[in-house]
Amino acid sequence: MSTPPIIIKRPVKHSGHHGGAWKVAYADFVTAMMALFIVLWIMNSSKQVQEAVGGYFKDPIGANKVGSAGGAGAEKKEDMQKLKSELEQTVFKQADLAKIKDQIEMTVTPEGLRIELLEAETPTFFNTGRSDPTPQGKELLIAIAHELGKIPNYISIEGHTDSRPYPGGPGGYSNWELSTDRANAARRLMQQSGVRKDQVVQVRGFADQRPRKPENTEDASNRRISVIVRHKKEDADETKGSKPAQGSKPPQESKPGQESKPAQESKPAH
């Protein structure tokens, strides 16, 4: 009789779990690859995109307010032309404002985009002799503010009148005060409607010293509000500490007793 085979069973020892260390390493690898791709994308992007991304990390809250109008900020002449076109499309698509588009003039100048609200013989944006905007003036300023609040560029606001003296007479309320008060009223409304608090860097009243039509200083279009969108944020930083050029007239603020020209006779206010 043959001896039955002896089978020896040895217990199999399973190695322990590796743990989750590999997951952490993998996540670090994926994060590093994503960061690399972002850096490569930024290096090959336009200057505007690079500045927009950099602005986000410097000021995330402010950068989030930068919208489509003008992209990451209008700096070059081409950017201002694009901003001008987008503003015109946005503003003029509103039926009420489309009727007065001949009184809204947008021009690209060396200092930026100048938006001018030109009065007609019948008051459109401001009532005669008043500094508070009309309903139509409010509607237009609000529409403009909604768009300008999306870009980082600084803004200046100017008030202008025609040469007809304010009935207040010498020593009283004059065109200086009226032009400045209208510019300030526009600023307040625009800052309530989208323009950021730190976006407006200048509010100036020029009375009748810079007529749009020098050959006819009493023309209604000389009465206007000008909103200037500056090319770059740095431009406004320079204006904060700049002094008026020699021989030039400094921007005027409201000062009691100032007036544009002595009144020969009282005519309707502007």
Q: Which residues pair with 229 in a beta bridge?
A: 113, 155
Q: What angle do CA 59, 86, 38 make, to 5 degrees?
A: 40
At 128 the pLDDT is 86
Share of the chain above pLDDT 70, in %: 69
Q: What is the pTM for the complete model shown?
A: 0.63
Share of the chain above pLDDT 90, in %: 44
Say which range, 50-54, 169-173, 224-228, 244-248, has the weakest mean pLDDT.
Answer: 244-248
For tokens 């905007």, what's the residue?
A: 133
Interval 237-248 mean pLDDT:
46
Q: Is 201 exposed, middle or buried (0-12, 13-18, 19+ CB in 10 A)?
A: middle
